[in-house]
Chain A
Amino acid sequence: MEIFKSNKSYNFMGRRLPFLGFSALLVIASFILLFTKGLNLGIDFSGGTLVQVQYTKAAPVKDIREILNSDIRFEKSTVTEFGTPEEIIIKIPSITTTLGKDIGDDIREILKPTGEYEVRRVDMVGPKVGDALQEKGIMALSLALLVILIYVSFRFEWRFAIASILALIHDISIALGAIVLFSIDVNLDILAAILTILGYSLNDTIIVFDRIREGVTTSKENELNKVVNESVSNTLSRTTLTSLTTFFVVLTLYLFGGEIINGFSFTLLVGIVVGTYSSIFVAASFLVQLNFSISKYRENEALKEKRSKDKDKLRAQFEQGTV
């Protein structure tokens, strides 16, 4: 079975401006969402208490809200359904620092008149812990980008590094936009998903770039657009195939993995789609836009080769004692 004929070359670069425009539109829309509606920070980052309760029958959400709102301690709490009508999540912005009796115990008591239930999960994160996590999250993200920048510059060229970072920012912004759009609670697992997208999309881009690098050094073609088109077309089959398998695996996780990892798998789904799109249509377009020059790259490579040959020669001479 084959999806794409590998000997056919599609003209991606000829249409790069419409693609870049479309991407810019998505990124701008995501930023607008981020700055207007804003991220829905979960308790991991904002601090607070989360109580997951499962009723034997459908949860009487209205009664629960009434009971909670009439209690001054839980005035600012929110109640939402979680997966099934029987299960709810109660979120309270505050926490208790005493170990003995905590908010979870209080909630358990005050809900008694609402029916038969089981408290299945109580998560409580203090504001200090949330702040530290937020700091660490941002740190991890920036450090990851920096390390990638260095590695790709070292293995390829700085334009490749910039292009891949731009593609990553593109992917992550759109994924964040989707998170805002669907009001997903941003907790640690979402941070993990974002970082996975980062790794995954980078993976995809690198494979394409590797092919471009190979094309630049081996192809007789001198026109960058043609070399890039050929390389992207050659990797098309691989890119789609890997994306499809990963997509299906994450889709099963999303459909059957349970409510708790829903946010995580949803973010990954978005990331895989965007990441695949960007490594085919966006990353290489950036490279062309950055005026990557084939002839200069070839010159540099030749120079590098010459240097290492000279070095070898020098060493050989040195070892023979002729210097």
Chain B
Amino acid sequence: MQFLNYRLVIFTLVTIFGIVFSIPSFLQTDDGKKISLGLDLQGGLHMLLGVETQKAVEGKIKSLAATVKYYTDNEDMLIEDLTIEPEQLSFILLDGDEASKLDTMFSEIKGLDINKGEDLIYTIKLTPVEVEIVKDMAVGQAVETIRNRLDQFGLAEPSVTRQGKVDIVVELPGIKTPQEEQRARELIAKPANLELMEVDELKSDQVYNLTAEEAQEMGNLILEDTNDPQIKYLVKQIPILTGSEVVDAKVAFDQQTNTPIINFTLSTFGAKVFGDFTARSVGKRLAVVLDGKVFSAPNIRERIGGGSGQISGNFTVNEAGSVAIALRSGALPAPVIMLEKRSVGPSLGADSINASMFALISGFVLVVFFMVLYYGRAGMISNVALITNLFIIIAVMAMFGATLTLPGMAGIVLTVGMAVDANVIINERIRELLKQGKSVHKAVEDGYKNAMSAILDANITTLLVAVILYVYGTGPIKGFAITISIGILASMITAILGTHGIYEVLLSKITKDKNLKKWFGVN
């Protein structure tokens, strides 16, 4: 009869598409879009991190205090009781005449809620809108910072993406050993909060007799030495400069002790602030504080221009490297905490992929064999559809750049089982009609017609469930839902259109042959 029917044309085109686009995935070529293996199959580290955004707000208040202090010092304005609380800072302006000058300065900073009380007491908060902006930026900046750090760590394809409002997903496929993983995690977590602080020389002697609260009341902080926690420093609560002004940091070696140190360079503004401060504070000590620990507290002998400094401590080369990377890539604006972690060793991934591959292939062979045994040639035609279906699933997944996870693999195995269903329904209908004595032509045409409503309703309901799974599922479940959905849609084309097209071509041959046992497995 007719050799070219529209069903066969569509089926052939889809088959060619499936084969062509699944080749890169099968051969894992370098070119072309292909399915990449999920972390559970190739090994790696997946983390869901939460950003403690409230801390970013506190940090913002702190740097605002540093600005106030720098400005009033420079303008010789006298203020008193500059104190920081988690969400606000307050101070008293001593000379009322200078209020307007101060107000002009504040008017240049956006998002402040300034409350001027009696006796010139200033209480400054961030507006609710500004708080949201600061929090949002903290997450955005954390993503950037972590990405920068991991890029410099030298791992293949690190992926850092934001999820929802405050969460960050980090995926590192290249991790091979638990030790390597731990180093990566430490690098991510390093706050790298560099602060240059002024030692309170007047009250410094009392440091060992003060409680933290008492120090707080004086506007000071007690910090420990990084090498010897017994040694304590009393520093002014308001830092002179923070790490946000660091533009570069490199590992170097101390010429005398030959131990690793970190040289850092400040921005132009930072250099100016630093120069002004050192000029004013000759004879005092400057504490170099990293993440709340004092690394050194040298005496200031003269004004330090040029804007560079160094951090020395008992670093190992690895540690110094991590700190330098962390400083260069910027501080984390707020601490990150681990919400979820999944790490799979490469050997386990390999085991999983071997096992599921074996299951997929043997399940596939079993089904193919069974279909031929039960339906004869009709079974072979169904098998053509089944194999094409597999190619299409892989091709479509490759086009979307989807990753193949273990549940996704299970989804494919399951689709293989269910994809034959449409053909089973159709074949059963054809057999039924043949037994009623219908001609082959009529049986095939009506068989497809009768089977259609059942196949459509069944597939649509399964598809609906898959969509819900996709919407409400996370990671692995999404992968499973995607493979099933693609499988169902593909089976509509292969099992319904494709096999019908093949029958249309073969109809005249089957009619002539008259051997229904050979073609449909019935007598």
Q: A246 touching B348 by the CB < 8 A rule?
A: no
Query: Is B506 in contact with chain A by the CB < 8 A criterion?
Result: no
Taking CB atoms, residues of chain A closer than 8 Å to B351 are 258
Taking CB atoms, residues of chain B closer than 8 Å to A268 are 414
Give which listed residue, A96, A99, A133, A241, contacts B474 with CB less than 8 A.
Answer: A133
Query: Is A89 in contact with chain B by the CB < 8 A criterion?
Result: no
Tally chain A residues at the interface, Cβ within 8 Å: 80
Query: Is B140 in contact with chain A by the CB < 8 A criterion?
Result: no
Within the complex, the shortest CB–CB distance from B52 to chain A, in Å, comes to 10
Q: A126 touching B338 by the CB < 8 A rule?
A: yes
Q: B339 touching A126 by the CB < 8 A rule?
A: yes
Q: B457 touching A238 by the CB < 8 A rule?
A: no
Which stretch from B59-67, B120-128, B235-243, B352-360 is at the chain A interface? B352-360
Taking CB atoms, residues of chain B closer than 8 Å to A140 are 468-469, 471-473
Taking CB atoms, residues of chain B closer than 8 Å to A246 are 414, 417-418, 421
- Who on chain A is nearest to B431 by CB? A6
Q: B359 touching A257 by the CB < 8 A rule?
A: yes
Query: Is B20 in contact with chain A by the CB < 8 A criterion?
Result: no
Q: A249 touching B462 by the CB < 8 A rule?
A: no
Judged by DSSP, the binding face of B is: helix
Query: Is A41 in contact with chain B by the CB < 8 A criterion?
Result: no
Within the complex, the shortest CB–CB distance from B177 to chain A, in Å, comes to 9
Give which listed residue, A119, A188, A242, A260, contacts B421 with CB less than 8 A.
Answer: A242
* Given A133-B474, A203-B458, A95-B338 contact (CB < 8 Å): yes
Within the complex, the shortest CB–CB distance from B407 to chain A, in Å, comes to 6
- Who on chain A is nearest to B354 by CB? A258
Judged by DSSP, the binding face of A is: helix
Q: A124 touching B338 by the CB < 8 A rule?
A: yes
Query: Is B460 in contact with chain A by the CB < 8 A criterion?
Result: yes
Taking CB atoms, residues of chain A closer than 8 Å to B363 are 248-250, 252-253
Query: Is A211 in contact with chain B by the CB < 8 A criterion?
Result: yes
Instruction: Among A144, A148, A253, find the residue whose CB has the most chain B CB atoms closer than 10 A.
Output: A253
Query: Is B395 in contact with chain A by the CB < 8 A criterion?
Result: no
Interface residues of B in 227-282 (CB under 8 A from A): none
Which stretch from A21-29, A171-179, A190-198 is at the chain B interface? A190-198
Which stretch from A65-73, A102-110, A310-318 is at the chain B interface? A102-110
Q: B189 touching A248 by the CB < 8 A rule?
A: no
Q: A238 touching B464 by the CB < 8 A rule?
A: no
Taking CB atoms, residues of chain A closer than 8 Å to B473 are 136, 140, 188, 192
User: For the complex, what is the distance from the CA of A143 to the CA of B464, rounded to whole Å?
Assistant: 10
Q: B356 touching A120 by the CB < 8 A rule?
A: no
- Who on chain A is nearest to B45 by CB? A122
Taking CB atoms, residues of chain B closer than 8 Å to A248 are 363, 366-367, 370, 417
Interface string of A1-36 (1 = CB under 8 A from B): 110001100000000000000000000000000000
Q: A101 touching B431 by the CB < 8 A rule?
A: no
Query: Is B325 in contact with chain A by the CB < 8 A criterion?
Result: no
Taking CB atoms, residues of chain B closer than 8 Å to A207 are 425, 454, 458
Q: B338 touching A250 by the CB < 8 A rule?
A: no
- Who on chain B is nearest to A138 by CB? B472
Q: B460 touching A245 by the CB < 8 A rule?
A: no
Interface string of A127-138 (1 = CB under 8 A from B): 011000100110
User: For the complex, what is the distance from the CA of A268 to the CA of B413, rounded to whole Å?
Assistant: 12
Q: B474 touching A188 by the CB < 8 A rule?
A: yes
Q: A120 touching B417 by the CB < 8 A rule?
A: no
Q: B338 touching A98 by the CB < 8 A rule?
A: yes
Taking CB atoms, residues of chain A closer than 8 Å to B352 are 258, 260-261
Q: A198 touching B465 by the CB < 8 A rule?
A: yes
Q: A242 touching B420 by the CB < 8 A rule?
A: yes
Interface residues of B in 344-375 (CB under 8 A from A): 344-345, 347-348, 351-352, 355-356, 358-359, 362-364, 366-367, 370-371, 373-375
- Who on chain A is nearest to B517 by CB? A1
Query: Is B428 in contact with chain A by the CB < 8 A criterion?
Result: yes
Interface string of B158-181 (1 = CB under 8 A from A): 000000000000000000001000
User: For the complex, what is the distance from the CA of A200 to the CA of B465, rounded to whole Å?
Assistant: 10
Query: Is B406 in contact with chain A by the CB < 8 A criterion?
Result: yes
User: For the complex, what is the distance from the CA of A126 to the CA of B366, rounded to whole Å?
Assistant: 42
Give which listed residue, B178, B182, B338, B358, contacts A97 with CB less than 8 A.
Answer: B338
User: For the complex, what is the distance from the CA of A214 to the CA of B446, rounded to whole Å?
Assistant: 14
Within the complex, the shortest CB–CB distance from B142 to chain A, in Å, comes to 12
* Given A120-B345, A121-B345, A124-B338, A196-B414 contact (CB < 8 Å): yes
Taking CB atoms, residues of chain B closer than 8 Å to A192 are 407, 469, 473, 476-477, 480
Taking CB atoms, residues of chain A closer than 8 Å to B522 are 2
- Who on chain B is nearest to A135 by CB? B472
Taking CB atoms, residues of chain A closer than 8 Å to B424 are 238, 241-242, 245
Query: Is A228 in contact with chain B by the CB < 8 A criterion?
Result: no
Q: B358 touching A155 by the CB < 8 A rule?
A: no
Interchain residue pairs with CB less than 8 A apart (11): A2-B522, A100-B189, A104-B178, A118-B347, A140-B472, A144-B464, A155-B457, A206-B457, A206-B461, A214-B450, A234-B432
Known: A140-B468, A210-B453; 15 extra A-B contacts, CB below 8 A, are A1-B374, A54-B348, A99-B188, A104-B341, A108-B178, A118-B345, A120-B348, A136-B474, A148-B461, A151-B461, A152-B461, A242-B424, A249-B366, A253-B356, A258-B352
